[in-house]
Amino acid sequence: MRAWLIVLVFSVSLVAFAKADDRLNGGTRQPGETNGWIRVHLQGDALTRGYQHGYLLSAEIEDAKKAVELSVTHEVNHSWLELREVARKMSWAKIPEEYRQELQGIAEGLKAKGSKLDVVDLVAMNEWMEFSYYYDELKLRQGVALTSRVAEHCSAFVATGRYTRDGRIVIGHNNWSDYLTGTRWKVIFDVAPSTGHHFIMDGVPGLIHSGDDFGINDAGIMITETTISDFHGFDENGVPEFVRARKAMQYSESIDDFARIIEEGNNGGYANTWLVGDRKNNEIGRLELGLKNVILERTKDGYYVGSNFPINDKLAKEETTFPMNDPNTPNQCRHRRWDQLMEENKGKIDVEAGKRFETDHYDVITKEFDPNERTLCGHIDKSSRGLPGWQGPFGAAGAVEAKVADSAMAEKLSFVAGAGHPCGVVFDAKKHLAEHPDQAWQAPALEDLKANAWTVVTATR
């Protein structure tokens, strides 16, 4: 009897192992890290590529969840259990079946590696940047004054025509985040889904979207964004931003396509100014996506930039509390620097120029090179001013990685990426916490940000 049981258990184990192997076919993870980047290739239907994601990145997903939970619960002052409940009640039913299956696949891949994280944890992780919009809206409806604002993310540009060296598109982006979560933004996802387009993007383990939304698909669409500062507005009946961002990355074939997909079901969460290029015709666009106001501009000869400032006066007045008349906010300082760099480099913008832009430390107020909250490559941790409303003085936040691509690279599903601080400035977590004990709550998950070299990443074709 005992021998029979052993044979039965062994047989079941073989079946489970065979199923795991079948799902992993085609999914790969390159050994180790390359200048701070983990590179994975995922392919197949939603359940299959999800399983590959969860299985190949199980340890990193567990780690990212701890950092995300610590960051977002501190930001919104609600527990992870409460955020899980919001995700379950408000978001799950609005997620299309394809992405439900992908999230379920990630959960199953995690389970196969012994993780206890479930699909609700994954939904909450994917929409962590939307929770502050949700809770701010609840406060406003209750007449409660807001004392903080949602995190400000990123400095980005896209240029074409007479502004670039070859007349084709160049796009670049650096990701501003708190260092808690920013140190986990270190995966290059190369995704070949069974439907839609092959795409490559940066991202956080466990997320099915980029999160900072830099990516390129094989239909020639090049995408990035920056958040709209001081934005207020959220529709609980809308589709989560992470769903729309992922769908646009996977299915867009033109700028019109992109705008249609990202607007459909807009919930106002993680409100962004989207910069997009279509390498097939050298056209670029800027989609300022509020909840009430949506403005699409496009050109084949010019540039668009982003550094968390609203552009349209009507949107700014109706949907933000941004001080449009103050030219010296950190966001507007970065805006002025962007315009300065675009004009100084007109006709010369290429990938190398983009790398310089995204690691730029020039402060337009002091006219000195001094990394702080007013520079395109942000280092709030070095500023006694902080970034009021989001980060206090010397807040552990700023630019955490950067990416640049041109049309020639996009044809190959390739871009150049700098993990951590490609500008060369190192962040020492232990030293920082010793100098700023008020930030000790971050100690369980705060990590160093190294100065990694730029690396060319290319999808498997």
Evaluate whether residue 309 is within a structural domain: yes
Angle in degrees, CA 409, 410, 414, rounded to 5: 60
The tokens describing 304, both together, are 């668009």
Q: Which of 296, 295, 289 is nearest to 269 (CA)?
A: 289
Q: What is the pLDDT of residue 20?
A: 56
Tokens of 113: 């590696």
- Structure token pair of residue 429: 């977590």
The pair phi, psi for residue 200, each rounded to 5°, is -130, 135
- Assigned token pair, 107: 């959960």
What SS3 class is residue 157? strand
DSSP-assigned letter for residue 320: B
d(CA 107, CA 135): 27
Residue 347's SS3 state is coil
Below-50 pLDDT ranges, the chain = 1-18
Convert the pLDDT of each residue in 148-163 to its tens digit. Answer: 778 778 999 999 999 9
Q: How far apart are the first and last CA of the chain?
A: 52
SS3 state of residue 447 = coil
Contact 391, 347 (CB under 8 A): no
Residue 298: φ, ψ to 5°: -155, 155
Residue 65 in any domain: the answer is no
The whole-model pTM stands at 0.94
Q: CATH number for the domain including 429?
A: 3.60.60.20
Show Cβ contacts of residue 179 under 8 Å, excluding neighbours closer than 6 positions. 381, 396, 397, 398, 400, 427, 429, 446, 447, 449
Q: Do the domain assignments include residue 70?
A: no
Task: Kindly state whether residue 102 falls inside one of the protein's structural domains.
Answer: no
Asked if residue 208 is part of any domain, the answer here is: yes
Number of domains the chain is built from = 1
Find the domain containing 378 and state its range: 152-458
d(CA 404, CA 227): 18
- The pLDDT of residue 17: 42
pLDDT of residue 154: 94
Per the CB < 8 A criterion, the answer to whether 188 and 195 are in contact is no
